[in-house]
Structure 1
Amino acid sequence: VERIKAMPKGSWSNALVTDGYDEPVKLAATVTVRDAGVEVDFTGTDPMSRWGINCPIIYSKAYACYALKCVVAPDIPNNAASLAFFTVSSPVNILNAVRPAPVALRHIFGHMVPDLVLGAIAKAMPGKILAEGAGALWNIHISVRPVSGGSGRRAEVLMFNSGGMGARPGLDGLSATAFPSGVHTMPIEATEHTGPIVIWRKELRPDSGGDGEFRGGLGQVIEIEAIEGHEFDFSAMFDRVNHPAHGRNGGGPGVAGVVRLDDGTQMRPKGWQHVPAGRRLILQLPGGGGYGDPSKRSTEARANDRSKEYISENGK
């Protein structure tokens, strides 16, 4: 309660445009701070979708409260008492989906809620809030099988992959780090063991972090192929392909994600798609936004970026 009383009082709003499924989706939030508590309202968010990207309010509420706890009291355990001062409300929309709306991919927008809420709080507490990050995990479901007339294993493989976090006041963003979910995938050796696939590359993506006094975290590049005589379908569950993470306090945006084959064929960021035998799927995960004026980044920090190949020779 004392920490809430120390916060600025008033209401601040923020909007975040995401890729959506077949068209962009706007998420909106208003954060109101009073002595008695903090309220988040999702009025202004786009309506429910016919696709499974809708988010139940309990999921949206959990991630909204997580964002508030990060600001107000990150050191206090989550329990009924510490969460009682946070109220989350919304009319029926894509962040408050009701039956029978499909919600299988609820994590895509649920994971965007902290950036949405923190963006509103940043207007009340400038200089305190990190930049936007990749947000939603880049989950991929791979269904691999022998080519027609062939023989071999069939398998279903699920991978959880992370882009870059936004830069923080005073610190660069963390690379290939799942924020806000905190989810980690298993090692590539274990992933390859679950099905007849080869992961040719899993490496940081140079130049993907937004420029700034503090650099955004890097995304990663993942290159996947079925073994000889096999092909696969995959279910894409990705965002930040058309709408990259914004920087904060003058920082530059992170670089958007890319989904393509090794021959240059562009793939969709969502939905089931086919990768023929002999072709490789390349995922280039988005980077986090930068923080602060890029001209204030130290010479030492830029030299370190180059020495570690976080930025290329042509990068900033």
Structure 2
Amino acid sequence: FNSGGTGARAALDGLNATAFPSGVHTMPIEATENVGPVIVWRKELREGSGGAGAQRGGLGQMIEIEAAEGFSFRFSAMFDRLGHPARGRDGGLDGAPGGVALDDGTVLKGKGLQFVPEGRRLVLSLPGGGGYGDPAERPADTVAHDVRHGYITGEQAALYGKAQGKA
């Protein structure tokens, strides 16, 4: 079970990589690798995936999984927000849409049984939540914090109006 980001709230940023409304978190990588012949090569917050706003949308995740040598695997895809990103509200911008693909660029379906052949990695780009409020109202020091911590890129800081050039 893997989650994208939640939408920003009127007074708070969205939650990163958290299911809503349940708040369910994923299993630790070590537990997943111990149960099946898989290797999790990457699991990290997806930089820039939360929509810009006075309150930023929560970040999705980047997850990269491969079957152990000599194995392939199938998984049941149940992904949303692939073609339609989470929308921003009251001037906030949309979050980034999600994606399901192989490491060679082959795009997989977001729903149903999917196959990952031996030697290929499954790459999940989980969606970000929408922003809330005018991005120009986000304080410059908060935008700079987001850049320092890898939540947004320096280029994305320009979306925040008055914070441009201060990040």
What amino acid is aligned across from residue 235 of structure 1 in structure 2? Answer: S
Aligned residues: 157
How far is the alpha carbon of 1:181 from its aligned partner? 2.1
1:281 aligned partner, one-letter code: L
CA distance in 2, matches of 1:176, 1:165: 7
| Identity %, equivalent residues | 65
After TM superposition, list the pairs within 5 Å mapping 1:119-130 onto structure 2.
none
Query: Where does 1:42-61 land on structure 2 (aligned, <5 Å)?
Result: none
Cα offset for 1:257? 0.4
- Equivalent position amino acid for 1:225 in 2: E
1:255 to 83, 96, 110: 96
The alignment partner of 2:106 has SS state of coil
Q: Does residue 268 of structure 1 match 2:109?
A: yes
Unmatched runs of 5 consecutive residues or more in structure 2? 158-167
**Residue pairs, 1:145-294, within 5 angstroms:** 160-294=1-135
Give the letter aligned to residue 212 of structure 1.
Answer: G
Q: Can you list the C-alpha shifts for 1:56-90, whole angstroms capped at 9, x where unaligned?
A: xxxxxxxxxxxxxxxxxxxxxxxxxxxxxxxxxxx
Normalising to structure 1: TM-score of the pair? 0.49
Instruction: Give the letter for the 1:256 counterpart.
Output: P
SS at match of 2:115: strand
Q: Distance in 2 between matches of 1:253 and 1:304?
A: 21
**One-letter amino acid of the counterpart of residue 90, structure 2:** N
Structure-1 separation of matches of 2:55 and 2:66: 36
Task: Report how far residue 241 of structure 1 moved.
Answer: 0.4
SS of residue paired to 2:154: coil
- Structure 2 residue matching 1:191: 3-state secondary structure: helix
Partner of 2:156: 315
CA distance in 2, matches of 1:313, 1:271: 37
In structure 2, C-alpha distance between the alignment counterparts of 1:314 and 1:224, rounded to whole Å: 29
Q: Which moved more, 1:213-222 or 1:306-315?
A: 306-315
After TM superposition, the score normalised by the length of structure 2 is: 0.91
Deviation at 1:225, TM superposition (A): 0.2
1:284 Cα deviation from its structure 2 partner: 0.6
Q: CA RMSD in A?
A: 0.9
Q: Which amino acid aligns with 1:174?
A: L
Is it true that 1:298 corresponds to 2:159 in the alignment?
no
C-alpha distance in 1 between matches for 2:130 and 2:143: 16
Tell me which amino acid in the other structure corresponds to 1:238: F
